[in-house]
Structure 1
Amino acid sequence: MASSYSQTIEALSISLTNHRSHYTLVAAAGISLSVSLIIRALFSNRRMEGRVLNSPLAAMQSPNTNNNEHPLPLDVLPGARDVQTPYGSIRVYEWGPEDGSKVLLVHGITTPCISLGGVAHALVDRGCRVMLFDLFGRGYSDCPSDLPQDDRLFASQIFLALGSSPISWTGAGSGRFCLVGYSLGGGIAASFASFFPQLLTALVLLAPAGLIRDSHISFRTRFLYSGGLPGRLLTYLSGKRLRAGPLSTPKSQHKKFHTRDALTEEIPSQTGTEAQILSRSYPNVTVPAAVLWQVNNHDGFVHAFVSSMRYGPILAQRQRECWERLGRYLTEQKKLPAPVQKLNGLPSDKVIIMCGVTDSIIIQDELSTDANATLGNDVIFKYFSAGHEFPSTRYDEVAQIVSDTLLSNA
């Protein structure tokens, strides 16, 4: 009897313990769900739907602003104009002889288009007509907060910039144009070319994103930009990190790509022999100062950076299809006589990729292997003894290669 009583007590004890564990798990799950819902409510994207995050353009137009001492003067490059679009205002610069070879330059994820100012000036010196614009959320371009910064938005922005020109860049008799893309802009350019090769005379990619292997992305960066966090929470966390700097050398020595690398690797040291003139009207303008001002003053910059990291043409797993589409086009072009290729659009021998041999983001050997694999070996490679920032420091050499490409068999 005692034994039976003891067993009954033990069974009741186990039952109560199990119930307590069950209640504990239910309570923990409820708390976790509540916290998750609160976070999503606090940092959801609903507050940003339908909004355009304005650039600092209005503040710069104040009569109290000293343009001469500003890190990014409104007329930092010639031919400035602000183009009103359904996505917000776009800052465009265009100059050079109207009958010159047309070159459109697309900058990277962090810098305004002034980073390619040296290349643009050097191309105009060689008789080209150039156009640059600030990507949405950079420089003096607004940022649409309710749209992902992906291939579709970037292609739309390119057409909006081209359509604002007083001369034809794409119509009959325009002669088409050469597309030059740097870093994120390289991924944008490759994607654009894969859909619209008939508009191009040449494609030049400077340390292009789009083929970065996932194995080089740190776990933390993959987690942050995988889509698991609410957009506003991710923007808040990334904003704190981006504003913390540093915005200067030394360059990253990481074996894995981190968020901060995207911010710093496009920025030249601006010391010694690397000090270059990107704006001839304002020779003291530097990329680090312009980026620091942009991070702290552009309401849309952090959002644009985060959205580009999450949706933009950066990783190979996301962009390989575009590169393969471009490769199939080049393969078909190569079967045609050279004069017919030119009539069709982008010739198979006019795809140039430039890379810095010490670049810690775009790895030289991997880029050449992956680009050849997707583009069918229809690529001409040029290498610089420099890092990811070489378009801002070796711009005269870059411009010469572009010019030679446009002149050969013109």
Structure 2
Amino acid sequence: MSSTLRILSLLGLVLAIVIQTKTFYHSRQTLPCLYQQPSELYHPDFYNGGHNLKLSLGQMRYWEFGPSNGKRVVLIHGISTGASTYDKVGRYLAENNHRVLVFDLWGRGYSEAPATYYDESLYVTQVALLLQKVGWDKADVVGVSLGGGIATSFTAFYPEMVNKLVLIAPAGLMENEDIPWSGKLVQHPLIRHVVTHPFIRPLALLGVKHFYNSARKNIVDPESIKIANIALYQFEHHPGFLRAFIGTVTDFPFSGLHERYRAVGQLCDNSSLQVLVIWGDADKTVPFNNSKLLKTYIPKAILEVYADGGHDIIVSEHQKVSNDIAHFLQ
């Protein structure tokens, strides 16, 4: 081997060690949130009653607003938007005698991204700890998409803390073919570590942004455009967002919550629990067809079908969603 090749080989080895060392170090740190670069569209005081809560895994952000003696309801958002998803719905509920609790899941908005598995346990525990910290022993629970899966699991494990349950296109019952190829790709452990590495992050963000834009290319509603821009801002400026997003795609059981839905169905049979399900029949992200399986697990659930509604009905049809939820929770 020539001296030039030896030098190049040595440099390559050193670079590999440096990258591996930095990746290991980076992977063990809690990553910061949007406080480093707050968004004008989604700032820390997006809602009234904002608080930072320090927990063992990191710091999270929540807001509690509405009449102090109002009917308590906690809102759980989806995989990408943060608590801004409930902009219209949360404020409507607060204006109609509800005490609203909304928060950023780990790695979204103004919540940090801990170095851990982004699985069912992480998110259910986050909800339980938040309710314990704010002193709520019982509340209505609303969840959309990923948040619907979390809400279902939370109800299955903490039924004594749930009055009524509202699920909007909830995750957890998807078939393998429902998951896009990009989601299956990042589930590989090597890919997960590579795309979250600081050197690769810019390329990964370009790919995610392209996918996100293509999935929402038909958005014309101003409110939907605003929420989509908030989500894109997080992709680009939240230091821990990519970790949380990819970690969730990898770790959360998007196809494996069947037992949780069965448990909720049994609770409806054996307790006073009531369930409302809202779903757009044109939803391609969490396919509407999943609603048939949900109804077999929770036969007593009320299913409200939104004709021609996509996955973003909580934003694009926020007035109808707000009315349906408020009517159900009264």
Identify the TM-score tier after normalising by the shorter chain: 0.7 to 0.9
Corresponding residue SS for 1:144: coil
Corresponding residue SS for 1:82: strand
Change (3 A) 1:187 1:39: farther
Q: Distance in 1 between matches of 2:216 and 2:164?
A: 24
Change (3 A) 1:207 1:265: farther
Q: Distance in 2 between matches of 1:396 and 1:268?
A: 20
Alignment of 1:12-161 (within 5 A): 42=20, 46-60=24-38, 70-145=40-115, 147-161=116-130
Q: Does the 8 Å contact 1:43/1:231 carry over to 2? A: no
Q: Does the 8 Å contact 1:80/1:94 carry over to 2? A: yes
Q: Does the 8 Å contact 1:110/1:266 carry over to 2? A: no
- Residue 250 of structure 1 corresponds to none
Question: Which runs of no fewer than 5 residues in structure 2 stay unpaired?
Answer: 1-12
Alignment of 1:1-20 (within 5 A): none
Rg: which structure is higher?
1
- Residue 322 of structure 1 corresponds to 260
Percent of matched pairs sharing the same residue = 25
1:383 Cα offset (Å): 1.6
Alignment of 1:3-402 (within 5 A): 42=20, 46-60=24-38, 70-145=40-115, 147-165=116-134, 168-170=135-137, 176-219=138-181, 221-225=183-187, 227-229=188-190, 231-236=192-197, 240-244=203-207, 246=209, 260=211, 269=219, 271=220, 274-276=221-223, 286-315=226-255, 318-333=256-271, 341=272, 347=273, 350-364=274-288, 366-375=289-298, 377-384=299-306, 385-402=308-325
Query: Please, what TM-score do these two structures have when normalized by structure 1?
Result: 0.70
Corresponding residue SS for 1:161: helix
Query: Please, what TM-score do these two structures have when normalized by structure 2?
Result: 0.85
1:246 Cα offset (Å): 4.9
Corresponding residue SS for 2:257: helix
Render the CA deviation track for 1:231-253: whole Å, top value 9, x for unaligned. 31143578634434657xxxxxx
Amino acid at match of 1:325: A
Q: CA RMSD in A?
A: 2.8
Q: Distance in 2 between matches of 1:294 and 1:228?
A: 23
Q: Which runs of 4 or more aligned residues in structure 1 lie more than 6 Å from their structure 2 counterparts after TM superposition? A: none
Count of residue correspondences: 314
Amino acid at match of 1:275: P
Q: Distance in 2 between matches of 1:266 and 1:153?
A: 28
Change (3 A) 1:141 1:275: same
1:48 Cα offset (Å): 3.5
Q: Distance in 2 between matches of 1:268 and 1:88?
A: 37
Q: Does the 8 Å contact 2:186/2:249 carry over to 1? A: no
Corresponding residue SS for 1:99: coil
Render the CA deviation track for 1:100-130: whole Å, top value 9, x for unaligned. 1111001110111111111101111211110
Corresponding residue SS for 1:143: coil
